[in-house]
Amino acid sequence: MSDVQVEVCGPVGLITLNRPKALNALSLAMVRDLTTVLLRWRGDSNVEAVAIRGMSKHGAFGAFCAGGDIRFFHQAALAGNPELEDFFTEEYSLNHLIFTYPKPYIAMMDGIVMGGGMGISQGAKLRIVTETTKMAMPETHIGLFPDVGGGYFLSRCPGHLGEYLALTGQMLGGADAVTAGLADVMLQSADLPALWEGLARPGAVAALLAQTKAGPAGTSNGFMGSGTEIDACFGQKDMVAIVVALEQSGSAWAQATLATLRTRSPLMLHVVLEQVRRAREMTLADDLRMERDMVRHCFQTAHLQRTGADSETVEGIRALAVDKDHAPCWSPARLEDVTPDMVMPFFDSPWPAHAHPLARLGQGNSAASQRLRDFMARSTSRLPSRSLMVSRLSCSALPLASAISHFTLPAFQCRLSGTSV
């Protein structure tokens, strides 16, 4: 049975990710299947909208997508498998296709939504979360960076929340995802099956899209300290200054955040901070091209004479998902030892502009440009002011993302058996 199941019911194309044992982690075959069906439906006048969900071991819904298959990344990097290059080129192309899709695309983000799962949902016209949603971009845990357009959509979060989420991999619940501008509406997970079945009815999609005005339904998971403190710390000029600000704060939230950052690759923390701040001024296409350059350097860090097992990313995957010793050997080991000469080459393209694998993204498509303008307008209207963010997000200063930093949740234990961030 295919890992991507598709059908057309009435005017709606329905996609079900069907790799539940791996929490629907994306393989190259799945990326290709998704791209193929979306391109076919884009030109099919009988398909007026698209909806996507994920299967869990308990049935439909319960797990959207845990990301890309990091075991494949590890094996391919060590073997020099060219499909690793194909995966990222085709995945990022798929992300752009979804962001610029000319028909309503509805993502039902129930359960785990991480990494590559964000890439196939953030560009949706309607992003539905539930009380079971666990959303994150936790790539820094494996010495990677928030890709699949993460630089673009995280940098559009209010204030310096994007830097915080990108660097820490903080998990969000459904209500917090809406408040942060990374989802549009929160529904009860028990209501999704009937909603899915009803999409084929005339007028159902239009009625559902109207719910984008409904706002969050539910309470914050208490995932962060005050928005003011996040801005004060993560708005600093560089990583060393961010750490100093956290140390000086002394709050429980700041100390928990410091503990998380100290488990991450110092080199990649510097790279990720630079990524988010560059992406804030970029188009989506330019951001994806930059991320394609970056991911090549993550696996082939030629400027540091590190490839294969020597790269930060392969080492991070080894420690987390292969040997599972949770003791990566980062190099350099300290933030203070990272120099600009180590960081800036990650942003140098290994290809001339005309030969870039994503050279054609965003060219000559006015409809796509309008879709991206709509995304920006929606993001800014969701959070008109930083003070609103602070009032609606919990300020209970609970410890930062214990599930991310320690991977104690059962869902994460399942994910680490062979999938990704």
Q: Considering only CA atoms, which of 292, 162, 147, 142 is closest in space to residue 224?
A: 162
Q: Considering only CA atoms, which of 179, 66, 190, 192 is closest in space to residue 128?
A: 192
Residues in CB range of 54: below 8 A, 6 or more apart: 16, 17, 20, 23, 24, 61, 62, 63, 64, 65, 110, 111, 117
Instruction: Clarify whether 312 is annotated catalytic.
Output: no
Cα separation, 390 vs 130, whole angstroms: 21
Judge contact between 78 and 308, C-beta under 8 A: yes
Tokens of 209: 């899209």
**Hey, what amino acid is at 217?**
A
Tokens of 36: 């193929």
Instruction: Clarify whether 218 is annotated catalytic.
Output: no
* Most distant CA atoms of the chain, gap in Å: 61
Judge contact between 378 and 212, C-beta under 8 A: yes
Q: Residue 237 burial by CB count (10 A; 0-12/13-18/19+): exposed, middle or buried?
A: exposed
Cα separation, 198 vs 191, whole angstroms: 11
Instruction: Clarify whether 174 is annotated catalytic.
Output: no
Instruction: Clarify whether 227 is annotated catalytic.
Output: no
Please pick, among 62, 68, 162, 225, the residue that the annotation labels catalytic.
Answer: 68
CA-atom Rg of the chain in angstroms: 20
Sign of the dihedral through C-alpha 188, 107, 115, 262: negative
Tokens of 95: 């992300």
Tokens of 38: 């979306």
Please pick, among 139, 229, 231, 293, the residue that the annotation labels catalytic.
Answer: 139
Please pick, among 3, 147, 229, 274, the residue that the annotation labels catalytic.
Answer: 147
Judge contact between 170 and 136, C-beta under 8 A: yes
Cα separation, 86 vs 149, whole angstroms: 17
Cα separation, 283 vs 297, whole angstroms: 21
Sign of the dihedral through C-alpha 253, 258, 263, 266: positive
Name residue 70's beta-bridge partners. Answer: none
Please pick, among 13, 62, 116, 119, the residue that the annotation labels catalytic.
Answer: 116
Residues carrying an active site annotation = 68, 116, 139, 147
